[in-house]
A and B are shown apart, each in its own frame.
Chain A
């Protein structure tokens, strides 16, 4: 086996694979090292019950950039993203508020709860779309270093300032407020109905160790909205074949270009000699050499575990230590013998094909957050539940189903102590019970269940504290401050060591932009052309 490579990528998460593909495409000899015997990191599908494929971590797709899919010919390698219909919040009084793709159906459903709110929804969507248009062009650009006087930093700063300058005075005020306010306060500006507000607040807290009343959560909502499926901004889709289909297509593209990917190859240390990278050393003692190493791991794992601190400046280490990457969510994946029935809703209602919630007020979400602050999982958690097999025929035999439940809040430690098996079972039971409250007979349909707390997410996937975004998406950790001021351009204090994970700009979600942007910077350092990396599509 060859031991010398141009680039080694640590981790086969979607960003690691995107990065590896672009570098291999540019003519470099790239090696991807994956510690598990499966690929994909948190973009993974595994068959944990015979015949039933899971989306074990991430479960929906909209942020994944279409430019990347096209550059890397992912459709040719089997990737299909299909749009999703519907969604609903079940209410405690036996009703539900559904959401439909059909705009009129959505408005008519909102009218059942509040005519005024149904009308306000247009203004709300307009304002969100305005913010999306502002931020979307920033995703596929390296953030400028505001302290630098290099030409490219100055010109990127100028680009940012021009964008800000294009805003009217009131738009600028709205934007600043939007980036800093809580999702609860933001929704209060438009809506009066509690259920409607609860249904919209969800995107402001998913993956974040904040409550809906915490400042900064409005931006998190935007982060979830700025994706698109085939140009329809804010729409969500499924990767056909589960989220693993994305890493599968990336791997296929990577290998077709001649790249090397090794499973069961956990990196123990990045080998650093004389302030520059030499290669990596595996847990099993194997060594691979490369002048460039790209870490798909989060910033804490990369610089507190993989790289020796002796090579790093103390203020850098301190900032890495203080990077906010608190785990806040868990996942319960369930194989079902048949489709569960839900109280109050017709079986033919397409809303069941989307994301289902059982939390009908912002107050309940905030109380769920209170439990997390006290160091335990929420007694009345917030679930984002989906049954992708209602849309995707490839994941389960006809009539059988896979159900994905994202669960918030769930702490990395319970009362300051490590998770025990009893804790984990009780957490799983809390989730199952909430679903069963709205779906009689639900428990009898369960064939198999995978419960994942932040502990499993850290141990299996490698996400520090189980944080799904590799670091919280609050304003203090975005743009040129992500992950660390002065190191927002995918480089590190060590020559030849780069970052490409969601810890970097523009952050988490299965977007691929960090991996792509890092490739642009690496090629720049190597004086290689990046003509195969297309610019972001215009936002007109």
Chain B
């Protein structure tokens, strides 16, 4: 390499600080609005053309979203299962080959570091996908295990096809086994001779699939999918549309709905699985895992911590970031995510609230909204009810074989 070439290659760190996914050119071509954001170090679209229309493609036709910025860790070796049992809170021994499980992992104090999906590719071969980066934590936890941890994040890319016509599009591409693919299961397939891994997973609460491949397959595969989706309403989407769908589905996001203990500067921001409504994931019957002792002990502190709740709010004003009050005067928490749900026709929200266990508090909750209308704020107090997530429940999400639209 010549000296000047070498210099130029190094310049990319400041001239182009955000990485570009292998699908960047495809999405950039669809994009008319110029709204990009930094997702885990990648330049990713928030809106490509129209947020609402992109959302409706998820619920009515099919959307394609770039999930390449997710962190992907490959975990291989005779003790991969043992290692993952120490790392995560679920019992990995109970997870069958060719399935995917939603899981989470904690630090030694039982505080949640992140959640993610664990793909069991074979007995001794896993892929862990997560929103945040965890290589140092994985390596620290792997001490003493016969296991190899490979950060595949920059070598494996992925897209998510979500929506009622997603199965039909994959069928058109010759993925015949798609009809037998149950939710949270995965298959290995090929498109244009490129090996791909398809799982029936997603972040929308709808029928949908996630497809992972090597970077070199990206161009060919997105072209094929785009062509196959032509008559099925396939629409490229940005994060905002996906975010609407994920709130409807009641999914939480690290560092949006809760602060990862890896990021928390104020120790009282850390949360245990139960605080996130995810206590059901924790398997206390298995052996030692990170944070187990603290989680067991914390069951005694019930009612003291902030917990995540799903809320429905009277009226139609947006409530993102609003403060929730008991009896219209005592602050009990903050809304972390909120949206008007076009499917449920309701204002819905996810919030962290400190309520204790008294029923009467739960029935007297209010949200303070500052509604901006032409440079003037209207201060509103709206009634809040606690509900059980998800906010919408679609039969097509889980039916197998998938219903035809």
Question: A: which residues have CB within 8 A of B?
Answer: 95-96, 98, 100, 102, 104-105, 107-109, 112, 115-116, 119-120, 122-123, 126, 129-130, 133, 167-168, 170-171, 190, 344-346, 348-351
Contacts and interface: CB of A to CB of B under 8 A. Distances in A.
A98 B12 CA distance: 12
A350 B14 contact: yes
B19 interface: yes
Contact of B151 (A112, A115, A133): A115
Given A115-B151, A123-B136, 14 more contacts: A98-B13, A100-B13, A100-B17, A107-B41, A109-B14, A112-B10, A119-B134, A119-B135, A120-B136, A126-B265, A167-B267, A345-B10, A348-B11, A349-B14
Contacts of A345: 7, 10
Contacts, number: 70
B3 interface: yes
B262 interface: yes
Interface string B120-163: 00000000000001111001000000000001000000000000
Contact of B7 (A130, A167, A168, A344): A344
B134 A344 contact: no
Given A119-B133, A119-B134, A102 B265 contact: no
Interface in B1-16: 3, 6-8, 10-14
B38 interface: yes
Contacts of B179: none
B6 A104 contact: no
A122 B13 CA distance: 18
A346 B13 contact: no
A108 B267 contact: no
A130 B265 contact: yes
Contacts of B38: 104
B109 interface: yes
B263 interface: yes
B18 interface: yes
Most central of A100, A104, A349 by chain B CB within 10 Å: A104
Nearest to B38: A104
A108 B262 CA distance: 19
Contacts of A126: 262-265
Interface residues of B, number: 26
A116 B133 CA distance: 9
Interface in B258-289: 262-265, 267
A107 B264 CA distance: 19
B334 to A, nearest CB: 15
Interface in B144-190: 151
A95 B3 CA distance: 11
A116 B71 CA distance: 13
Given A107-B41, A108-B41, A122-B262, A349 B11 contact: yes
Contacts of A120: 136
Contacts of A129: 265
Given A105-B17, A109-B13, A349-B11, A133 B265 contact: yes
B263 A104 contact: no
Contacts of A122: 133, 262-263
A326 to B, nearest CB: 35
A271 to B, nearest CB: 51
B135 A115 contact: yes
Contacts of B18: 104
20 contacts: A95-B10, A100-B13, A100-B17, A104-B41, A105-B13, A108-B12, A108-B13, A108-B17, A116-B136, A116-B139, A122-B133, A122-B263, A123-B136, A123-B262, A344-B10, A346-B7, A346-B8, A346-B11, A348-B11, A350-B14
B265 A100 contact: no
B267 A168 contact: yes
Contacts of B151: 115
B14 A100 contact: yes
Interface in B303-318: none
Contacts of B139: 116
A389 to B, nearest CB: 20
B14 A102 contact: yes
B279 to A, nearest CB: 22
Contacts of B136: 116, 119-120, 123, 190
B259 to A, nearest CB: 11
B338 to A, nearest CB: 24
Nearest to A111: B13
A108 B19 contact: yes
B405 to A, nearest CB: 41
Contacts of B6: 344
A112 B263 contact: no
Interface in B344-371: none
A534 to B, nearest CB: 25
A171 B3 CA distance: 47
A171 B270 CA distance: 13
Given A345-B7, A346-B8, A346-B11, A104 B17 contact: yes
A96 to B, nearest CB: 8
Contacts of A349: 11, 14
Nearest to B263: A126
B328 to A, nearest CB: 25
A255 B139 CA distance: 61
A115 B19 CA distance: 14
Contacts of B19: 108
Nearest to A167: B267
Nearest to B19: A108
Give the 8 A-B CB pairs with smallest separation, nearest first.
Answer: A105-B17, A104-B17, A109-B13, A119-B133, A108-B13, A120-B136, A105-B14, A119-B135
